[in-house]
Amino acid sequence: MKEKKLVTLAIETSCDETSVALVADGRDVLSNVISSQIDVHRVFGGVVPEIASRRHLENINAVLESAMGEASVAPGEIDVIGVTKGPGLVGALLVGIATAKALAFAWNKPLAGVHHIHGHICANYIAHKELEPPFMALVISGGHTSIVDVTGYNECRVIGKTRDDAAGEAFDKVARVLGLPYPGGPAIDEAAKSGDPNAVMFKRVFLEKGSFDFSFSGTKTGVMNYLNSEKQAGRTTVTADVAASFQLAILEVVVSKALNAAKLMKKDKLALAGGVAANSLLRKMLGEECAKAGIRLFCPPPALCTDNAAMIGCAAHYKFTAGGKDSLALDAWADLEL
Ligand code: KG4
Ligand code: ZN
């Protein structure tokens, strides 16, 4: 008889996506329902925390019902409830955590709280069934930019991270000054396709020799200063050229550091994760550099790069099968080290 698969119900509400997924054996997605609030926040040019929490509260039950229905899974078939415990917006996280705790209590199921970034890394296990640790991961999103040495399913070490803005945050802020719509990352990605990446030479910040940390705020400020000085001089600027030049300045640093980290730690696999991993130029540049270095590159499809509950289900699966669980006292953490 075939062994029953371990089914995880997972909830993600750390920022502006309300998502519930059902995942079998960590890697098989039975359903992954995502309700995006992007349209609600667009008018404000960024995520408004109070509105995000309220929207999660309004949406969570419907998203949960859809996910259960789409997967045709009954409560009795669920083995563990996974949820993002942080980092993220505290009010937003709390909606997911309260829902997960209520389900765990009502259905008498174990609860596993997971780190959002660990979830992003785990998106690669869903997309690439053959992927196993160890590997190097580049986690690049609106809230984080880190290079992570992944040594096991539940073991990893951050070897470099941003000292100021996350890459996605810099993309979003530059897009705003360029008058591009929110979220800025995809808008810059698109605008840059028709621009000249060598039109303006923005600063590439590599920090101290050998450091795997990042700093993007100087490059972002460089764009703002350039736009101001051109305006003051009465010159017009070409949005596509500025977008392409900014994007290249950020990505040259990111690609160089991720490759150097993989080479230094003798990793033959590099996995991309986080919302900015959907960036077309980043994928192209990393693809070319990895091929030259003999490193295999893993990229989840764009839908698994941005926030979703399936990746949280995968992370919760590996935590739970290694004996990890949380009590109903589980709390939300705005800042949480990996
Ligand atoms: O992982 P994610 O959905 O949420 C966080 O955990 O932050 O990432 C969202 C970020 C936003 O900053 C968005 O602008 C960026 O990912 N992003 C992109 C692209 N698609 C999304 N940045 C650059 N190019 C893209 N194609
Ligand atoms: Zn994220």
> What CA–CA distance (Å, rounded) separates 319 from 311?
13
Q: How far away, in angstroms, is 73 Cα from ligand 1 center?
A: 31
Pick from 70, 94, 57: nearest CA to 9: 70
Query: Which ligand 1 atom sits nearest the alpha carbon of residue 144?
Result: 7
* pTM for the whole structure: 0.93
Q: How far away, in angstroms, is 141 Cα from ligand 1 center?
A: 5
State residue 46's pLDDT score: 78
Q: Which bound ligand lies closest to the C-alpha atom of 17?
A: 1
Say what percent of the chain tops pLDDT 90: 89
State residue 256's pLDDT score: 98
Query: Which ligand 1 atom sits nearest the alpha carbon of residue 142?
Result: 7
State residue 2's pLDDT score: 65
Question: Which structure tokens are listed for 295?
Answer: 């490193």
**Which of 12, 189, 247, 276 has most ligand 1 atoms within 8 Å of its beta carbon, as the pocket-test mutant?**
276
CB-CB neighbours of 235 under 10 Å: 8
pLDDT in tens, 166-219: 999 999 999 999 999 988 999 999 999 999 999 999 999 999 999 999 999 999
Q: How far away, in angstroms, is 291 Cα from ligand 2 center?
A: 27
The pLDDT mean for the chain works out to: 95
Amino acid letter, 74: A
Residue 44's pLDDT band, with cuts at 50, 70 and 90, is confident
State residue 110's pLDDT score: 98
Q: What integer is the mean pLDDT of 134-154?
A: 96
Q: Which of 14-23, 30-39, 127-136, 191-200 is predicted with the least confidence, judged by mean pLDDT?
A: 30-39
Backbone angles phi, psi at 68, to 5 degrees: -65, -45
Q: How far away, in angstroms, is 72 Cα from ligand 1 center?
A: 31
> What CA–CA distance (Å, rounded) separates 35 from 19?
6
User: Are 13 and 56 within 8 A, CB to CB?
Assistant: yes
E strands in 79-231: 80-86, 111-115, 135-140, 145-150, 156-161
Residue 1 has pLDDT above 80, yes or no: no
Q: How far away, in angstroms, is 229 Cα from ligand 2 center?
A: 35
Q: Which bound ligand lies closest to the C-alpha atom of 38?
A: 1
Pocket around ligand 1: residues whose beta carbon is below 6 Å from it? 15, 141-143, 168, 171-172, 183-186, 189, 274-276, 278-279, 306-307
What are the distances in angstroms from CA 274 to CA 185, 256, 301? Answer: 12, 18, 11
Whether the bond between 87 and the residue before it is cis, its omega within 30 degrees of 0, is yes
User: Are 149 and 136 within 8 A, CB to CB?
Assistant: yes
First to last CA, the chain: 39
Cα 85 to the chain's mean position, in Å? 15
SS3 273: strand
- Tokens 């096991």 correspond to 152
Backbone angles phi, psi at 254, to 5 degrees: -60, -50
pLDDT in tens, 64-117: 999 999 999 999 999 999 999 999 999 999 999 999 999 999 999 999 999 999
- Tokens 């309300």 correspond to 18
pLDDT in tens, 273-303: 999 999 999 999 999 999 999 999 999 998 9
